[in-house]
């Protein structure tokens, strides 16, 4: 080894020892008779000293050495002079008196400094990610991610799971998300796709008698990315045979509790709270509620009917509802503040925001004239409003009310600092409906994915639905009433995983495909290999797939919940890599080999793009 110790591990226990260290120059402080040099490696920093009078050769060797040079340094560990200790540094009571200096590599001036509190534009950070990763917070994030993966493997191994790899070159089985295509030379005109998830693979492993499977699995979706959604992401993919929903929930929450203990040093009380889907929507307007603060929804539809406020009354009369949330201490919000909030809510289709402010001596509301004092007092009573609070109401169809108030609630929760830092609120969402009516297509979609098993009691509803006189949009349509064994795990307002008990019988699976508008010949073409497998004694099975990226982001408590910070080499939201310049144009020769042709317009764009070089390294 080129080194005997790591910088950050040195302490008073090493005093008197000769050590060799390797690392990067954090900073050089030339004092004309001494040079102080902070050497940094993964473990931390240590101050090294070269004294001109004691060792002129070493002092001279440090001449010209600059930040981020990669060095091998030899010296003896000494206690610092009395009074010269640095309590801000873990190694601040000692320093290394240098006897040898070897430059392993020089460094150009960096595009940004290697400091913890970096303000640099994220695009520049990603372009020079190999430098960004030298920063302590990024190293912490990588280590936390490693720790979580390692502990996950340990735990699942202990539970009898086998880690099995599944193909990345897969068959196109369109289920929802667009797939990335991978054309290959050996089969011109044909294409593999990258899996959206190993969903079908892992079910086939259950047919294959694996019984307990997991995989730290890369998944790919060719869809618009988001702050909490990548084009390529990682799931802790889990599947088990001969289990009920409770079995999957049990092993999952014990895994999460194990991670919380091992990674965060916190005890997670089990079992985790469970909320039905309907209750989550009713109380929070969301299937991934952030329960770290209150501000729950209050239904005031009945009061709205009796008021003289037509907007409210009409909303209820046309099958909608009126719901309210109470923002603590916001009674002094100005007309402008409320207008800003109203604008936020309009993008979800809400037409307005009615507010009632409970002041010291008066009630302020732009719609006060439509309500009696008693009615307003009743609204405050139900919302448990205190003096100084502001009640915000939205009247509309249930999904508009849910979306807008959910957004307002989260926005205000953040603005009003209602969230105690360091809180981790896990909860299950259960009893999710199997199907969801899609007003655009006029038929039902699978709420989660089409491989979920309906609750056995609701199996007759599948058949009834085909002959039901009710229109598809009717909430009492048999298919709208089918319950499934479908569950989501939620942490602090993020869905960090979802799973289900799967369909393992061909006849039921085919029926589900028909309901979501996939005719038998089509489902045979796409999923035939899986349906065939179900005919050979496929065991009942189910599983879950916690998203590793979101979990790491939340457990690492990354600032601003930026998920890119917990990935070594992330892409931008628009799906490009500023470091490598990927994706790059496809050249004509490869297209020919693959039996593909570019549309003229795309070819012209590519011609231009061919002249664009990836950003140079300096």
Partner RNA sequence: GGUCCCGUAGCGUAGUGGCUUAACGCGCCUGCCUGUCACGCAGGAGAUCGCCGGUUCGAAUCCGGUCGGGACCGCCA
Chain residues that interact with RNA, rule: CB under 7 A: 27, 29-34, 36, 38, 47, 49, 51, 53, 66-67, 80-81, 84-86, 88-89, 92, 95, 109-113, 119-124, 175-177, 196-197, 199, 221, 223-224, 226-229, 347-348, 403, 440, 445-451, 562, 572-574, 576, 578
d(C-alpha 582, C-alpha 615), whole Å: 11
Place of tokens 């936020």: 344
Spatial CB neighbours of 426, under 8 Å, sequence gap ≥ 6: 253, 256, 268, 272, 273, 489, 490, 491
Give, for 381, the enclosing helix (H) or strand (E).
helix 373-382
User: Whole-number minimum distance, CB 26 to RNA, in Å?
Assistant: 8
Q: Pick between residue 50 and residue 300 the one whose CB is nearest to RNA.
A: 50
The Cβ of residue 106 has, within 10 Å, a number of other Cβ atoms equal to 12
Distances from the Cα of 408 to the Cαs of 288, 321, 350, 473, 614, in angstroms?
A: 15, 17, 12, 28, 41
Minimum distance from residue 520 beta carbon to RNA (Å):
19
Least distance to RNA from the beta carbon of 311, Å? 22
In angstroms, what is the minimal distance from the CB of 326 to RNA?
23
Q: How far is CA 496 from the centre of its chain?
A: 7
Nearer to RNA, 212 or 288 (CB): 288
* Nearest residue (CB) to RNA, 27 versus 103: 27
Q: Is 390 strand, coil or helix? A: strand
Of the candidates 517, 535, 546, the one whose C-alpha atom is nearest the C-alpha of residue 216 is 546
CA atoms of 423 and 25, how far apart (whole Å): 37
**Residue number, 199 or 321, with CB nearest to RNA:** 199
Rounded to a whole number of angstroms, the minimum distance from the CB of residue 52 to RNA is: 8
Whichever of 172 and 572 has its CB closer to RNA, that residue is 572
Least distance between RNA and beta carbon 97 (Å): 8
d(CA 390, CA 383) in angstroms, rounded, equals: 10
CB nearer RNA, residue 308 or residue 528: 528
156 CB-near residues (< 8 Å, 6+ apart)? 163, 214, 238, 255
Shortest distance, position 1 Cβ to RNA, whole Å: 27
Task: Provide the 3-class DSSP secondary structure of residue 282.
Answer: helix
For RNA, the closer CB: 155 or 541: 541
Q: Tell me the C-alpha distance between 320 and 195, whole Å.
A: 40
Chain centroid offset of residue 211 CA = 28
Of the two residues 14 and 365, which places its CB atom closer to RNA in the complex?
14
- The smaller minimum CB distance to RNA, of residues 49 and 207, is found at 49
Q: How many beta carbons lie within 10 A of that of residue 584, not counting itself? A: 14
Q: Which of 294, 284, 273 is nearest to 428 (CA)?
A: 273
Distance CA 176, CA 441 (A): 14
Rounded to a whole number of angstroms, the minimum distance from the CB of residue 200 to RNA is 8
Residue with tokens 């259960």: 430
Is the Cβ of residue 29 or residue 592 nearer to RNA in the bound state?
29
CB of 80 to RNA, least distance (A): 5
Closest CA to 9 of 21, 27, 25: 21
**Minimum Å distance from CB 162 to RNA?**
21
Residue 265 Cβ vs RNA, minimum distance, rounded to whole Å:
28
End-to-end alpha-carbon separation of the chain, Å?
32
- The pair phi, psi for residue 460, each rounded to 5°, is -60, -25
Q: Least separation, in Å, of the C-beta of 377 and RNA?
A: 35
- Are 555 and 569 in contact by the 8 Å Cβ rule? The answer is no
Given a contact cutoff of 8 angstroms between Cβ atoms, the answer to whether 557 and 245 are in contact is no
Instruction: Write down the least CB distance from residue 572 to RNA, Å.
Output: 3
Pair of tokens at residue 319: 């099958």
144 versus 196: smaller Cβ distance to RNA: 196
Distance CA(550)–CA(233), nearest Å, equals: 9
8 A C-beta contact, residue 498 and residue 490: no
- The residues pairing with 324 across neighbouring beta strands, listed in sequence order, are 298, 393
Query: Cα(257)–Cα(495) distance, rounded to whole angstroms?
Result: 17
CB of 53 or CB of 374, closer to RNA: 53
Q: Which is nearer to RNA, 123 or 139 (CB)?
A: 123
């Amino acid at each position: 080894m080129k080194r005997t110790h790591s910088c950050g591990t040195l302490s008073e226990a090493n005093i008197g020892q000769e050590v060799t260290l390797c690392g990067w120059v954090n900073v050089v402080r030339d004092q004309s008779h001494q040079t102080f040099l902070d050497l940094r490696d993964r473990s931390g920093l240590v101050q090294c000293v070269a004294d001109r009078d004691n060792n002129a050769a070493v002092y001279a060797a440090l001449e010209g050495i600059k930040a981020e040079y990669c060095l091998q340094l030899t010296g003896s560990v000494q206690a610092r002079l009395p009074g010269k200790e640095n309590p801000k540094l873990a190694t601040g009571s000692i320093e290394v008196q240098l006897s040898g200096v070897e430059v392993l590599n020089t460094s150009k001036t960096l595009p940004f400094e290697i400091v913890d509190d970096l303000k640099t534009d994220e695009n520049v950070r990603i372009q020079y990610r190999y430098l960004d990763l030298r920063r302590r917070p990024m190293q912490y994030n990588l280590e936390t991610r490693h720790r979580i993966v390692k502990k996950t493997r340990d735990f699942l191994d202990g539970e009898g799971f086998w880690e099995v790899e599944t193909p990345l070159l897969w068959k196109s089985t369109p289920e929802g998300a667009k797939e990335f295509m991978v054309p290959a030379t050996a089969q011109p005109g044909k294409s593999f796709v990258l899996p959206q998830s190993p969903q079908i693979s892992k079910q086939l492993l259950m047919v294959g008698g694996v019984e307990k499977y997991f995989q730290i699995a890369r998944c790919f979706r060719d869809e618009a990315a988001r702050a909490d959604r990548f084009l390529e992401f990682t799931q802790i993919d889990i599947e088990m045979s001969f289990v009920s929903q409770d079995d999957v929930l049990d092993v999952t929450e014990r895994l999460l509790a194990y991670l919380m203990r091992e990674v965060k040093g916190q005890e997670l009380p089990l079992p985790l709270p469970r909320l039905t889907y309907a209750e989550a929507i009713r109380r929070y307007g969301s299937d991934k509620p952030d329960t770290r603060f209150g501000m729950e929804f209050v239904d005031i539809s009945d009061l709205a009917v009796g008021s003289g406020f037509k907007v409210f009354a009409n909303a209820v009369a046309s099958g909608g509802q009126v719901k309210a949330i109470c923002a603590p201490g916001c009674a002094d919000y100005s007309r402008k503040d409320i207008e800003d909030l109203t604008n936020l809510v309009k993008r979800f289709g809400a037409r307005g925001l009615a507010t009632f402010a409970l002041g010291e001596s008066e009630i302020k509301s732009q719609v006060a004239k439509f309500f009696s004092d008693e009615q307003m007092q009743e609204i405050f009573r139900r919302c448990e409003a205190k003096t100084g609070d502001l009640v915000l109401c939205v009247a509309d169809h249930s999904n508009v009310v849910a979306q807008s108030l959910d957004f307002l609630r989260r926005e205000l929760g953040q603005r009003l600092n209602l969230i105690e830092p360091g809180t981790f609120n896990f909860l299950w969402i259960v009893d999710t409906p199997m199907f969801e009516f899609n007003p655009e297509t006029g038929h039902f979609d699978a709420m989660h994915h089409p491989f979920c098993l309906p609750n056995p009691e609701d199996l007759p509803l599948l058949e009834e639905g085909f002959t039901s006189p009710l229109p598809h949009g009717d909430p009492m349509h048999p298919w709208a009433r089918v319950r499934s064994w479908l569950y989501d795990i939620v942490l602090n307002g993020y869905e960090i995983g979802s799973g289900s008990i799967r369909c393992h019988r061909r006849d039921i699976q085919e029926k589900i495909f028909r309901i979501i508008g996939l005719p038998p010949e089509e489902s045979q073409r796409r999923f035939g290999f899986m349906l065939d497998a179900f005919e050979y004694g496929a065991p009942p099975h189910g599983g879950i797939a916690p998203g590793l990226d979101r979990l790491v982001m939340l457990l690492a408590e990354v600032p601003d919940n930026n998920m890119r910070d917990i990935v070594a080499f992330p892409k931008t939201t628009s799906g490009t890599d500023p470091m490598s310049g990927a994706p790059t144009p496809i050249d004509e020769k490869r297209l020919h080999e693959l039996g593909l042709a570019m549309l003229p317009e795309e070819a012209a764009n590519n011609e231009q793009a061919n002249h664009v070089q990836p950003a140079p390294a300096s």
